[in-house]
Amino acid sequence: MDAGLRPENAVPGDLARRRLNDLADDWYATPEPSGFLRKVQGGADRVHVPEHYIRNSVGLMFNASFGTVFAAAGNVLDTLLRRPDALAALRDRRLLATGVNELVRFDGPAQGTSRVAVRPTEIHGVAVEPGQVVMTALAAANRDPEQFRDPDELVLDRTPNRHLGFGWGVHACVGSAFGQLALQELVAGLLDAPPLRRTGRPVRRSTATVRCIAEMPVSFVEKVAGGYDALSRSSPVAGPIDSRGAQEDHGIPAH
Ligand code: HEM
């Protein structure tokens, strides 16, 4: 999808895919694998799964886990630096699980996905023929006012929160528990460390499918007698925001 929007992404994208496949091949060819790979290979031998399935899955797993967690971490950090009140509220560990889940709804990395119809079907009165591609705008669905009350607000205890940030159905994210855990650790780390403040505008990667920050200049707030420098409590972009505000601030167009 990204290459469709920006043709100049096609060649580097293909190159990256090839390098990832080569890496997975190397990993798979390790003479005496250990850990998870050993289990996977052992299991595959027992159930006679073709080897290329395993190698593809290894590549998919890496791609699906690293890129999304990396992107989600940047988005979460960005939101929480803009909303020190929300970060402070997360000191209440009872809010951590629902809060992190809400952060993924509010500004998650997965913007959309697609499926190819294999049989004639109908979606809300629209006929879809076999072979046609259906694109779902996951991030837009996550702000659907018919599903979410105050969809543009960050509500740390939002329950229920049936968002699509981890997909839905049989192909929903298999790593969502790990992804959420990683983000909870990030929040805990932010709360334990000296406060951070932004020192410049974050730069977003120019992608359509995975909303991601490429650069985010920050610095630790200096500790002064009696506490941290007041800058930590008066971020220049603090206050109620929604993603539209965030996008304006980053100087990027709305998706
Ligand atoms: C915050 C982090 C993450 C987010 C936001 C995320 C999001 C998603 C989304 C939206 C999908 C559905 C894609 C689709 O329907 O086309 C998905 C699928 C998937 N995710 Fe994640 N993911 C995250 C972390 C991870 C991690 C850590 C792993 C692995 C350890 C992982 C492995 C996968 C795999 C293998 C699939 C494909 C499942 C299938 O097709 O059956 N994800 N993820």
Which is higher by pLDDT, 232 or 122? 122
The pLDDT tens digits for 130-143 are 999 999 999 999 99
Residue whose CA lies nearest to ligand 1 atom number 43: 173
CB of 53 sitting under 6 A from ligand 1: no
Domain ranges within the chain, ordered by starting residue: 8-46, 50-250
* Listed residue (112, 102, 110) closest to 79, CA to CA: 102
Q: How far is the CA of 176 from the centre of ligand 1 (A)?
A: 7
210 close to 55: Cβ distance less than 8 angstroms: no
Residues 83 and 107: their CA atoms lie apart, in Å, by 13
Which is higher by pLDDT, 63 or 28? 63
State if pTM tops 0.75. yes
pLDDT on residue 1: 66
Instruction: Give the residue, out of 68, 77, 180, with the most ligand 1 atoms within 8 A of its beta carbon, to mutate for a pocket test.
Output: 68
Phi–psi pair at 136, nearest 5 degrees: -110, 130
Q: How far is CA 4 from CA 1, 138, 167, 252, in A?
A: 5, 18, 22, 18
Assign a CATH topology to domain 50-250.
Cytochrome p450 (1.10.630)
Atom nearest to 182 CA in ligand 1: 1
CB of 113 sitting under 6 A from ligand 1: yes
The pLDDT tens digits for 46-81 are 888 888 888 888 888 888 999 999 999 999 999 999
